[in-house]
Amino acid sequence: AFVQRFRPAFQTRDLFTIWGILQLLRRYPGRVPDLDLMFDCVDWPVVRAHLYRGEHAPFIPPLFRYCGDDRTLDIVFPDWSFWGWPEINIKPWDALYKDLKDGNSKGKWFSREPYAYWKGNAAVATSRQELVKCNVSSTQDWNARIYTQDWFKESKEGYKTSNLGSQCTHRYKIYIEGSAWSISQKYILACDSMTLLVTPKYYDFFSRSLMPLQHYWPVRDDNKCASIQYAVDWGNSHKQLAQRI
């Protein structure tokens, strides 16, 4: 395999993405055809569907990236963090999944905190800043427990409070996109909590197969707090049904 970099990627995204492609070649030796593959390690999809209609359809550029949306034609591929994200101390998926599984086994679902949990960087998106307003206060409880993540502080302190395996302690976990899709979705789904999924704009390679009320509970983006409160109230009143989701 030959790799040519056209511009530097953020942190080590390109390195771990290349490693993922090499694992594909190793898994299917001789079965992956010889081809040129263009990969963009930036978050946002750019191949606009409306530019490649009719007679222009044969000229769609086969550009790979980590996510897409309904207005673009980028080809989605597993994101780099499946093979690790050392800059923020995230392990490769196989090792991290064991941590998440251990975290799930420490307590039964019914004994978990009966609230919706989210922890992340709120500064990257307006929608996340709106979510922070759903946190419990002295005057209002939306059944949400929101924690903002300061990655700079965490890096200085050795990521002591960022262990994903220790965050499976609530009956409900919130997924909300950042500036684009978020790598956190797979970790949230793996926690065996009922996932409260704020209406997304983007999709990754697996998320389009997720079904509402089977794999997650949909949360309205334009009415987050009340939607989360209703979901948690419903789940706490229908515990067995909520546990199945």
pLDDT in tens, 21-37: 999 999 999 998 888 88
pLDDT at 159: 78
pLDDT at 149: 86
Every domain of the chain and the residues it spans = 13-77, 92-244
Q: Which residues of the chain have pLDDT under 70?
A: none
| Structure tokens given for 241 | 């049904």
Q: What's 46's DSSP letter?
A: -
pLDDT at 1: 72
- Among the CATH numbers 3.40.50, 1.10.287, 1.10.357, 3.90.1530, which is that of 92-244? 3.40.50
pLDDT at 162: 79
Q: Rounded distance, CA 13 to CA 86, Å?
A: 10
pLDDT at 231: 98
What phi and psi, each to the nearest 5 degrees, are found at residue 60?
-65, 120
Q: What percent of the chain has pLDDT over 70?
A: 100
pLDDT at 16: 95
